[in-house]
Amino acid sequence: MKDSETEHFLTRPSTIRGLWWGFSIVLALTVAAQLFIYVKGYFTVDGWFGFGAVFGFFSCVLMVLFAKVLGAVLKRPRQYYEEYRDDA
Amino acid sequence: MPELISPALIMIMAALAIGPLRGHFRTAIILLAPLLTLWAIWQVPDGVQGTISFLSYSIEPVEGSPLRRLFATVFALMAFVGGLYAFRIAKWYELAAAFAYAAGAIGVSFAGDLITLFVYWELMALFSTVVVWCGGTAASRAAGIRYAILHLLGGIVLKVGIEGLVVSTGSIQITAMLAHDFHSWMILCGILINAAAPPLSAWLADAYPESSSTGSVFLSAFTTKTAVLALILLFPGEPVLIGVGLFMVMYGIIYALLENDIRRILAYSVVNQVGFMVCAVGIGTQMALNGAAAHAFAHIIYKALLFMSAGVVIYRTGKHKCTDLGGLFRTMPLTTVCGIVGALSISSFPLTSGFTTKSLISQAAANQGLVWVYMLLTAASAGVFLHAGIKFPWFVFFQRDSGLRPKDAPWNMALSMLLFAGLCILLGLFPEWLYVLLPYPLDYQPYTLGKVLFYLQLLLFSGLAFFLLLPLMKRTDTVSLDVDWLWRRAGPWLAGTLARSVVVPLQVSAGRFLMACQVYLTQVSVRYLGQAHTDDSEERGLFARSWPIGTTALWIAILLSAYVLIYYI
């Protein structure tokens, strides 16, 4: 199945590369479109050029990093609760 | 007095009939009863439909209003599609419990007074516990007990609040209030426990994923959304709810990001979505309450759709962890597509139901000039796409090739997924169908070029963040600690330690003390009454002798005859 002939077309490296390109172009277009389309800002800042893109990207980065830090504290092996029950 | 009969009673009758009926009759009841209920819901006119006097209270079993009908409609719809999804593989008692559970939700929707509300509220608590137990594993039994304890506790808190209200005002009417005294706080807390609000959010992600692959579809719909309805009816504009809602929104995202179990990811995103609604109730304007109601309607549909696609995966593969799954799109195209439609809807992608309903809430925050609320809700919208919109389909259906090649969904599951996927898109394309059903008149245009562009930027760049940060989101086979650690780990530990250090020594010394007492009392009795007769053959005092049973019987006979004689003389 690893052979590129028999592999599903969605998992072929060439398709994935194409998807990255296509996706990047769409991303660029959504930002560029703001040159022609007026985005109404309710609080000034959210009407700035590309605000949605920057805000979306960085809030996600922040959330992932925060989850990562919190995970270091909160994550336990899956058997955590069961083990205790067996011990008791 | 047909106007006093709540549409919920149809569902209760159906729940009772599911057990005794067999074969096609049972299927017919499962599929037709929710439709009949739906019809009955739309026959309920506005206003209180008569009262019954009970213990000097006037009970109002049925009160109609556009808001109540809206919630009851989506509950009945959920029961129908859930029944269609489940009827071939679920146990009859799971279906009966799910129908009784749905009846509770519909009953709460039409409850005109707090006593009726409370009765149906407890009906939900009982039968949702049964649905959790139908998972059939040791883990689901334990989770079901934790779930039941917490919900019964929540019920008691609610009841204390209702009784306080009755004592102070003498009224059991459901009227809008604010949390300003003890009883209104208790009512609010009781409702918020069912809404999975902090600090007791953990029950949801603890219990729902332990139910069967069909049970979680029902569980995702009713409890939290009836709590939202109760909040809209009782606490519109309560400022505390804004903070509570924002916390739930962020809590859901962060915990879902840490999670490995596919249904637990969805369970955390229930908390996240209910957070949007709770926040909207806190804002409390007509726009915001419309948003909360519309979002609850849309949410039940797409969340059930997501749980259905997860349920099909679990039913077909028996696996429920991201680390075990992946690459299922090859053999499960329909489930993949339906899962993606649900995922896009929950992320409020334009052209889906999430976009046309969630944007009402953001708009309400913007209209009130709540800049922080608006910004956090917007960040959370991006976060929803991150934790549910991409993460769920990516790790289940794509990611890597897990080597699993399961069959796609059976016809009834496929049909129910298609129905809800279709509704997600229809409500996205024609939002006015839902808008006319909302409690307040609404003049809102979700599709303006600027809004769509803003959301596309927000969501697509959140998607970019997901794929760039993918190495940071490597799935680990772990659980995340939550407040339930207190009663799952700290409580048992404390009890164990107390038992070892206090109770066991106490028991030992108490045992010694009792032994000493016994020895002393024996000595005293021997001294004054003599040794027991059986110990040796020596003659003893009169009361220490043992007597043959026949002697006793003879004496009783003599005494009784004497009594009868004396009675007649």
- pLDDT one-digit tens code per residue, B152-204: 999 999 999 999 999 999 889 999 999 989 999 999 999 999 999 988 999 99
Lowest mean pLDDT among A38-42, A56-60, B248-252, B284-288: A38-42
* Mean pLDDT calculated for residue range B143-148: 94
Q: Do both A9 and A29 map to the same domain?
A: yes
Q: Do both A57 and A82 map to the same domain?
A: yes
Q: Give φ, ψ of B50 to 5 degrees.
A: 90, 160
Q: Do both A56 and A79 map to the same domain?
A: yes
Of B253, B258, B378, the CB nearest to A74: B258
What is the DSSP secondary-structure string of B185-221? HHHHHHHHHHTT-TTS-HHHHHHGGGS-TTHHHHHTT
Say if residue A38's pLDDT is above 50: yes
Which residues does chain B have within 8 Å of residue A36's beta carbon, measured at their own beta carbons?
none
Listed ranges B76-90, B321-335, B469-483; the one with the highest mean pLDDT: B76-90
Identify the domain containing residue A6 by its residue range.
1-37
In total, the C-beta contacts within 8 angstroms joining chain A to chain B are: 150
User: Looking at chain B from residue 303 to 332, which residues have their Cβ under 8 Å from any Cβ of chain A?
Assistant: 327, 329-330
Q: What pLDDT was estimated at residue B404?
A: 85
Q: Do both A58 and A17 map to the same domain?
A: no
- 8 Å CB contact of A55 and B477: no
Strands, DSSP E only, in B338-491?
Answer: 478-480
Coil, helix or strand for B51? coil
- Provide ipTM, 2 decimals: 0.88
Q: What pLDDT was estimated at residue B540?
A: 62
B453 contacts chain A (CB < 8 A): yes
pLDDT band at A87 (very low <50, low <70, confident <90, very high): very low
Question: CA of A14 to nearest chain B CA: how many angstroms apart?
Answer: 16
Say if residue A46's pLDDT is above 90: no
Which residues does chain B have within 8 Å of residue A33's beta carbon, measured at their own beta carbons?
453
User: Looking at chain B from residue 329 to 348, which residues have their Cβ under 8 Å from any Cβ of chain A?
Assistant: 329-330
Instruction: Tell me the pLDDT tens digit for each residue of B221-239.
Output: 999 999 999 999 999 999 9
Residue B252: CA count within 13 A, CB half-sphere: 32
The residue type of B214 is T
pLDDT band at B541 (very low <50, low <70, confident <90, very high): low
Which residues does chain A have within 8 Å of residue B375's beta carbon, measured at their own beta carbons?
43, 46, 55
Residue with token string 């809590």: B251
End-to-end CA distance of chain B: 64
- 8 Å CB contact of A52 and B461: yes
Cα–Cα distance measured from residue B406 to residue B220, given in angstroms and rounded to the nearest whole number: 25
Q: What pLDDT was estimated at residue B333?
A: 93
Say if residue A5's pLDDT is above 60: no
Distance set, CA B379 to CA A61, A78, B109, B383, B506 (Å):
11, 30, 32, 6, 57
Residues with Cβ within 8 Å of B8's Cβ and at least 6 positions away in sequence, in order, are B37, B103, B104, B106, B107, B110, B120
Question: CA of A60 to nearest chain B CA: how many angstroms apart?
Answer: 6
Q: Do both A59 and A29 map to the same domain?
A: no
Best B372, B444, B459, B460 member to test A by mutation, with max A CBs in 10 Å, is B460
Which residues does chain B have within 8 Å of residue A71's beta carbon, measured at their own beta carbons?
257-258, 478, 480
Say if residue A4's pLDDT is above 60: no
Q: Do both A32 and A52 map to the same domain?
A: no
Instruction: Tell me the pLDDT tens digit for each residue of B337-385.
Output: 999 999 999 999 999 999 999 999 999 999 999 999 999 999 999 999 9
How big is the CA angle at B269 (ends B263 and B271), to the nearest 5 degrees? 115
pLDDT band at B247 (very low <50, low <70, confident <90, very high): very high
- Which of these, B428, B294, B270, lies nearest to B363 by C-alpha position? B294
Cα–Cα distance measured from residue B252 to residue B278, given in angstroms and rounded to the nearest whole number: 13
Question: CA of B456 to nearest chain A CA: how many angstroms apart?
Answer: 7
Long-range contacts of A40-47 (CB under 8 A, 24+ apart): A40/B448, A40/B450, A40/B451, A42/B366, A42/B374, A43/B366, A43/B371, A43/B374, A43/B375, A46/B374, A46/B375, A46/B378, A46/B454
pLDDT band at A85 (very low <50, low <70, confident <90, very high): low
* Mean pLDDT calculated for residue range A68-83: 86
Domain positions in chain B: 1-233, 236-480
Q: Do both A87 and A69 map to the same domain?
A: yes
Q: Do both A46 and A24 map to the same domain?
A: no
Q: Do both A4 and A28 map to the same domain?
A: yes
Cα–Cα distance measured from residue B186 to residue B166, given in angstroms and rounded to the nearest whole number: 13
Which residues does chain B have within 8 Å of residue A60's beta carbon, measured at their own beta carbons?
382-383, 386, 461-462, 465-466, 469
More confident residue, A41 or B530: A41
Of A39, A57, A77, the CB nearest to B465: A57
Which residues does chain A have within 8 Å of residue B476's beta carbon, measured at their own beta carbons?
75
CA A55 vs. chain centroid, Å, equals 13
Say if residue A86's pLDDT is above 60: no
Q: Do both A27 and A63 map to the same domain?
A: no
Query: CA-nearest residue of chain A to B474?
Result: A68
Query: Six-digit token pair at B15?
Result: 């729940």
Query: Six-digit token pair at A37?
Result: 């389309």
Distance set, CA B171 to CA B110, B167, B179, B187 (Å):
18, 8, 17, 14
Q: Do both A33 and A43 map to the same domain?
A: no
Q: What pLDDT was estimated at residue B537?
A: 61
Best A1, A15, A16, A59 member to test B by mutation, with max B CBs in 10 Å, is A59
Cα–Cα distance measured from residue A12 to residue A14, given in angstroms and rounded to the nearest whole number: 5
Which residues does chain B have within 8 Å of residue A26's beta carbon, measured at their own beta carbons?
460
Q: Do both A63 and A85 map to the same domain?
A: yes
Distance set, CA A4 to CA A10, A11, B180, B330 (Å):
11, 9, 67, 15
Say if residue B534's pLDDT is above 70: no
Do B61 and B103 contact (CB within 8 A), yes or no? no
B405 contacts chain A (CB < 8 A): no
Question: CA of B453 to nearest chain A CA: how many angstroms apart?
Answer: 7
Q: Look at chain A and report how many structural domains it folds into.
A: 2
Say if residue B500's pLDDT is above 60: yes
Cα–Cα distance measured from residue B94 to residue B86, given in angstroms and rounded to the nearest whole number: 9
Distance set, CA B53 to CA B1, B47, B105 (Å):
14, 18, 23
Max CA-CA distance within chain A? 67
Say if residue B208's pLDDT is above 90: yes
Quote the mean pLDDT of chain B: 92
Percent of chain B with pLDDT over 90: 77
